[in-house]
């Protein structure tokens, strides 16, 4: 028995619920996350409360990378302008 199964068995005994119910409750957030990630039309992030936030969409990550590159280029341009102004 794995540690996961032991924990689920302990919870089922503690709350007098069937082990299948406990497994369904434990695995549901991950099944939901998997379905949302597989959907190509959905670009929203997925938040599992008290666990993690998932952003797995290629479209979303490319968009944020382009924004970060533009911000970085603006910072570099400002620094170059400041250096040129100080030298003159």
Provide mean pLDDT across the span 18-22: 94
pTM (2 d.p.) = 0.51
Average pLDDT for residues 61-86, to the nearest whole number?
76
- Residue 16 token pair: 């007098």
pLDDT tens, residue by residue, 50-67: 888 877 555 556 666 777
* Sequence spans of domains, the chain: 1-55, 57-88
Average confidence (pLDDT) over 42-53: 80
Taking a C-beta distance cutoff of 8 angstroms, is the pair 19, 11 a contact? Answer: no
Going from the C-alpha of 23 to that of each of 2, 17, 48, 84, the distances in angstroms are: 13, 10, 17, 64
């Amino acid at each position: 028995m794995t540690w996961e199964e032991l924990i689920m068995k302990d919870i089922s005994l503690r709350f007098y619920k069937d082990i299948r119910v406990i497994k369904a409750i434990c695995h549901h957030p991950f099944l939901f996350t998997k379905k949302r990630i597989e959907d190509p039309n959905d670009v929203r992030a997925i938040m599992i409360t008290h666990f993690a936030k998932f952003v797995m969409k290629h479209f979303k990550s490319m968009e944020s990378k382009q924004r970060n590159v533009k911000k970085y280029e603006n910072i570099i341009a400002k620094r170059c302008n400041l250096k040129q102004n100080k030298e003159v």
